[in-house]
């Protein structure tokens, strides 16, 4: 069985270029799958998720539902593009740091590559001065393919 390709996808132009590259890579492998991973860190201050009675936990669940509703059409469109190329997609929305989440998904699914765009961060990562491709290249033990945005 082919090893799945893990794709970090956020709907940006850069992640669209990474999607194209992941599709091309998967075409070279019989039975390949592409796992589209949308990572989202909840805003600081929304915590105590373990205590279901906590007001912040309820607020966090409401926030997660709003984000899911906003990103679902974008992820469905990306999955449709993968499917149209004759490749089986899987879509995951992960509530965690993107670099950590992508590496964890790659390990869980036995992937041999993580594909990401060279930039296209969400607002929270940008505020924190975080850069997912840089973090992956320096910390991941799964090979990382960083795809530049093609104008």
Please state the domain extents for the chain: 5-42+71-147
- Indicate the pTM of the whole model: 0.83
Per-state percent for the chain, helix, strand, coil, to nearest 5: 45, 20, 35
Give the Cβ contact number of residue 50 at 10 Å. 7
SS3 25: helix
Could you tell me the strand order of the sheet in which 88-94 lies? 88-94, 33-39, 5-8, 113-117, 144-147
Percent of the chain with pLDDT over 90: 48
Q: What is the pLDDT of residues 54-67, one digit of tens each?
A: 676 777 778 788 88
Predicted local confidence at residue 45, as pLDDT: 58
Q: What is the pLDDT of residues 120-142, one digit of tens each?
A: 544 444 434 457 888 898 889 99
Predicted local confidence at residue 61, as pLDDT: 78
Q: Which helix (H) or strand (E) holds 41?
A: none
The CATH class of 5-42+71-147 is: alpha beta
Q: What is the pLDDT of residues 104-115, one digit of tens each?
A: 999 999 999 999
pLDDT range class, residue 74, cuts 50, 70, 90: very high
CB 76 within 8 A of CB 15: no
Predicted local confidence at residue 124, as pLDDT: 42
């Amino acid at each position: 069985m082919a090893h799945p390709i893990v794709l970090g996808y956020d709907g940006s132009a850069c992640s669209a270029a990474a999607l194209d590259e992941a599709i091309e890579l998967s075409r070279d492998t019989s039975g390949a799958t592409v796992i589209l991973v949308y990572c989202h860190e909840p805003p600081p201050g929304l915590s105590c998720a373990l205590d279901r009675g906590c007001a912040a936990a309820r607020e966090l669940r409401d926030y997660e539902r709003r984000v899911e509703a906003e990103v679902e059409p974008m992820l469905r469109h990306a999955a449709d593009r993968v499917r149209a190329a004759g490749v089986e997609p899987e879509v995951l929305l992960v509530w965690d740091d993107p670099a950590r989440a992508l590496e964890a998904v790659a390990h869980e699914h036995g992937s041999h590559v993580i594909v990401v765009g060279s930039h296209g961060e969400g607002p929270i990562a940008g505020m924190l001065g975080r850069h997912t491709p840089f973090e992956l290249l320096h910390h991941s033990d799964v090979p990382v393919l960083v795809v530049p945005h093609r104008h």
